[in-house]
Amino acid sequence: MAGIRTPALATAALTSVALLSQTANAAPSTDDRPSLEEVEKKVDDLYRQAESATEKYNAAKEKATKQRKKVDTLLDDVAQRAQKLNDAREELGTYAAAQYRTGASAPDTATLLLADSPQDYFDQTQLMGRVTDRQKGAVDDYFADQAETMKKRQEASRSLQTLTDSQNDLRTAKAAVQKKLGSARALLSQLTAEEKARLAKIEERKRQEAARKAAELAEQQAAQAAAQQESAGSPDPAGTGTSTSSSSPSNSPSTSTSTSTSTDSSYATKAEKALAFARAQIGKPYVWGATGPDSYDCSGLTQAAWKAAGVSLPRVTYDQVNAGTTVSLSAAQPGDLVFFYADVTHVGIYIGNGMMIHAPKPGAYVREESIYYDGESSIHSVVRPA
């Protein structure tokens, strides 16, 4: 679904101090304006809040879509039941008319048969005897269907109210996103060229630090992999050419290693497909609420990537984080999902070496980036989805 995009990258989305309040702990400058670092934090916070609102929008949209399908199904069912009742009413009318013509019942039988509350009719023994089993069965079916139809109508009415509530939530979430992005654009409009240049340098220092942390993680993971490989293929320490587990093949390391290798291979095959899809989206714009194919938000990209690998993920980040097995950051493998922030409002796809592919935020494009792009403390968890 198309959304609203800011016209500039994150480095350009930083702003005029005139609209920023001085923080309690910040030392005021000579003109009582916050520092550029504070300006950057303010705009970054706006984008984070917009992304949080985007996930709420996505959840409300998904709920509204499901509720609409449910309502449509219920209304179709009610319509079919109503037609069935009309047909049954005509059949009952035929029975009643026939009885009246033949004198088999009192003249008011037709009215009693078609009444909304027929119980009094059946309470009269003399009339009960005049109704054939087939006719009585038809009457029983009619009123049973009538009661069920009423229940379905009530259920449809409740579902329509739920749909209205979902649509209201959708509008509220959409307004919240637009407000946050509007605030960011307002700040951007007063940014000077000098401020942009200085803030670009701050951003560059952050990228360099993120790259350094990614390189450290890559070295750590490489060392762990080498140690595991050495342990799995190490010779007998006594030099005898035999292993201590050779007499117990069912519990041998080779058996467990084979099972583990098979599992890893299956996951790696799926992950490769997901990553191939994600790489093909690099350069496409971030658009809040979008699920492709021309643009994505963060969870829309991860959902689409794993769908390409045959794995179905939920729509929003705080559902995706529960759609797999949590692993440690040091054990992260290509294809794993990396989640960010305490409220789990951002996600990317790990590609190895401390790097990921993600749709960062409004004004940016799908790209490869260090998982430390917003600092180590921003990483919430790593989840293996398949």
Which residues are 340's β-sheet partners? 346, 379
Return the closest-CA partner of residue 10 out of 159, 129, 187: 187
φ and ψ at residue 325, rounded to 5 degrees? -105, 125
* Residue found by looking up tokens 């467990």 in the block: 256
Q: Which two tokens stand for residue 18?
A: 């005139």
Which of 174, 358, 361, 384 is flagged as catalytic?
358
Q: Which two tokens stand for residue 264?
A: 């890893």
Query: Is 380 assigned a catalytic role?
Result: no
Are 372 and 354 spatial neighbours (Cβ–Cβ below 8 Å)? yes
Residues in the chain: 386
- Edge-first strand order for the sheet with 346-352 is 325-327, 379-384, 337-340, 346-352, 355-358, 367-370
Query: Is 298 assigned a catalytic role?
Result: yes
Which of 298, 356, 364, 366 is flagged as catalytic?
298
Which of 81, 284, 346, 384 is flagged as catalytic?
346
Query: Is 378 assigned a catalytic role?
Result: no
In degrees, rounded to 5, the angle at the alpha carbon of residue 250 between the alpha carbons of residues 245 and 252 is 35
CA 45 to chain centre: 22
What single-letter DSSP state applies at residue 31? T
Residues involved in catalysis: 298, 346, 358
